[in-house]
């Protein structure tokens, strides 16, 4: 299977494995990816051979997924034939609904053997590509597996840094050991530190400052709708692909002191509760939150797009099996979803949705709230959820708030209702 340039762009050509380079060569006889792959200059820069650590950070719709796939194929077919590599996505749906369909669209999965139950793609040259998700701390721990020659991450800003650290530790085989990420920024998190910050990794090839509008293949209606939908810092992040520091944060007190390593999370708690925010195009969220004495700890998160209420219920069940039974406080905007949770045997209740008092309540926990480090989506939102007009308004922007809404539902509703419970009368608890 070669990758050739056609009038419609760069496509696979099923003529058997590439065994002899047909373009300019690197040391060791490797083929120059720039001659056979991506149609856009910034994509070609990302898929180039040589650097150990590679990043393509851009606005949405700039061609990141296509670039990720091309680098996967280059590793499996040309750079590390016969070796094992891993592709990591933030969630199972992002793997199932985005990455796998894109691989199919390009015709790659018809080459060699695709094993959907094991999420493995085995090529005729002996290369194996393993697809994994990193949507909870247990899955991240399970990444301590085979020795690999390369790995890639899609949307790394939604994946905990611990997953990156584990995967780097598995890079032990192959002729060209390399790691690569593609995604949109989510504030100044570990992705910025690794690839762009003062303490960035050695031997980095980082493609940045690519905007949504730099992709000439997008229809005008797509870019026009984006311009209308986003504003301010969110526009800079999502459309311009810039790392940006959000002004007027709703929770400016949240910092590294509120984080704890997953290995240090306690095994027992006084009680566990859950917060739920519904979503489809926006992320749907379930948070597991535990109390020890006066301290609250966010243990785990589930954060998915394009899922059903049944997917949501299964996620809540999984977290409850893992951390224990507790009340599930749900976004009150979807009473039918709450009823479905109840029919599934879940202790779901309508949450209080008074935004300002709820924010004030969460803020009152600033010195008594910890978050397990692997809850990356919640951490991102703490650093992006802002008031309108950069803090001049007392109303938050309805952006970057899905995990934080779930946290507010859980903490505010639980403690408010606990304090409002009537006292037992004549030994009977009403």
What's the pLDDT score for residue 273? 98
Low-confidence ranges of the chain (pLDDT < 70): 1-39, 390-392, 418-430
57, 159: one domain = yes
Question: Which of 281, 274, 346, 275 lies closest to 310, judged by CA?
Answer: 346
Greatest alpha-carbon span in the chain: 89
Tokens of 202: 């050695």
Residue 8: count of CB within 10 angstroms of its CB? 7
Question: What pLDDT score was predicted for residue 40?
Answer: 86
Residue 429 belongs to a domain = no
| pLDDT value of position 390 | 67
Q: Where are the alpha helices (DSSP H) in 177-297?
A: 190-195, 220-229, 232-238
> Does residue 299 share a domain with residue 217?
no
Exposure of 262 in the CB half-sphere (CA atoms within 13 A): 17
Could you say which of 238, 273, 290 is where a domain stops? Answer: 238
Beta strand ranges found along 141-220 (DSSP E): 150-154, 178-183, 204-210
> For the whole model, what pTM was predicted?
0.75
For residue 5, the 8-state DSSP code is E
| DSSP single-letter state for residue 331 | -
Domain boundary among 203, 238, 273: 238
Q: Are residues 225 and 261 in the same domain?
A: no
Specify whether 334 is located in the same domain as 383.
yes
Say yes or no: 294 and 416 in one domain: yes
Relative to beta strand 150-154, strand 84-89 is parallel
Segments forming the whole domain that contains residue 61? 2-238
DSSP string, 96-120: IIIIHHHHHHTTGGGSSEEETTTTE
The structure tokens listed for 357 are 């008092």
Please state, in angstroms and rounded to a whole number, the distance separating the CA atoms of residues 422 and 154.
50
Task: Decide if 250 is inside a domain.
Answer: no
pLDDT at 181: 97
Domain count, the chain: 2
Per-residue pLDDT tens over the stretch 282-313 = 889 999 999 999 999 999 999 988 889 999 99
260 and 230 in one domain? no
Could you tell me if 46 and 119 lie in one domain? yes
Residue at 427 is within a domain: no
276 and 320 in a single domain? The answer is yes
Domain boundary among 189, 209, 238: 238
Tokens linked to 96: 């199932």
Question: Is position 70 within any domain?
Answer: yes
- Residue 291 is given by DSSP the state E
Is 179 found in the same domain as 212? yes
426 CB burial (10 A radius; 0-12, 13-18, 19+):
exposed
Mark whether 173 and 122 lie in a shared domain.
yes
- pLDDT at residue 119 in the model: 93
Give the pLDDT confidence score for residue 424 in this predicted structure: 43
Question: What distance in Å separates the CA atoms of residue 265 and residue 420, rounded to the nearest whole number?
Answer: 30
User: In Å, what is the CA distance from 43 to each residue of 12, 35, 379?
Assistant: 17, 12, 29
Residue 430 lies in a domain: no
Same domain membership, residue 404 and residue 262: yes
Residue 388's domain is classified under what CATH number? 3.30.420.280
426 within a domain of the structure (yes/no): no
| Residues 269, 232 within the same domain | no
In a domain, 188, yes or no: yes
β-strand partners of 182: 56, 154
**pLDDT reported for residue 222:** 80
CATH for 90: 3.40.50.300
């Amino acid at each position: 299977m070669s990758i050739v340039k056609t009038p419609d762009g760069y496509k696979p050509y099923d003529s058997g494995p590439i065994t002899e380079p047909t373009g300019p060569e690197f040391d060791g006889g490797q083929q120059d990816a720039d001659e056979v792959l991506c149609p856009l200059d910034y994509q070609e820069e990302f898929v180039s051979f040589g650097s150990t650590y590679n990043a393509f950070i851009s606005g949405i719709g700039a061609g990141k997924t296509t670039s990720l796939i091309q680098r996967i194929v280059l590793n499996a077919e040309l750079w590390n034939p016969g070796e094992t590599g891993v592709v990591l996505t933030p969630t199972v749906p992002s793997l199932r609904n985005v990455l796998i369909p894109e691989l199919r669209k390009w015709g790659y999965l018809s080459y060699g053997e695709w094993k959907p139950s094991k999420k493995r793609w085995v090529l005729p040259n002996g290369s194996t590509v393993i697809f994994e998700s990193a949507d909870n701390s247990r899955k991240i721990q399970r990444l301590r597996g085979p020795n690999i020659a390369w790995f890639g991450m899609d949307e790394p800003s939604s994946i905990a840094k611990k997953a990156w650290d584990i995967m780097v530790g598995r890079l032990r085989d192959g002729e060209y050991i390399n790691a690569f990420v593609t995604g949109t920024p989510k504030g100044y998190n570990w992705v910025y530190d690794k690839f762009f910050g003062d303490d960035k990794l050695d031997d980095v090839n980082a493609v940045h400052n690519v905007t949504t509008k730099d992709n000439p293949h997008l229809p005008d209606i797509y870019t026009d709708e984006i311009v209308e939908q986003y504003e301010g810092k969110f526009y800079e992040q999502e459309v311009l692909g810039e790392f940006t520091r959000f002004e007027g944060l709703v929770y400016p007190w949240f910092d590294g002191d509120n984080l704890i390593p997953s290995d240090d999370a306690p095994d027992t708690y006084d009680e566990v509760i859950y917060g739920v925010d519904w979503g489809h195009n926006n992320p749907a969220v379930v948070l597991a939150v535990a109390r020890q004495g006066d301290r609250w700890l966010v243990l785990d998160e589930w954060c998915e797009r394009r899922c059903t209420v049944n997917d949501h219920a299964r996620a809540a069940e999984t977290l409850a099996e893992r951390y224990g039974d507790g009340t599930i406080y749900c976004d009150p905007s979807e009473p039918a979803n709450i009823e479905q949770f109840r029919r599934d045997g879940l202790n779901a209740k309508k949450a209080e949705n008074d935004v300002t008092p709820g924010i004030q309540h969460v803020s009152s926990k600033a010195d008594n709230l910890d978050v397990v480090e692997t809850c990356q989506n919640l951490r991102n939102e703490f650093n992006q959820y802002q008031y309108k007009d950069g803090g001049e308004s007392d109303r938050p922007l309805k952006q970057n708030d899905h995990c934080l809404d779930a946290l507010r539902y859980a903490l505010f509703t639980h403690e408010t209702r606990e304090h409002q419970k009537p006292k037992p009368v004549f030994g009977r608890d009403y």
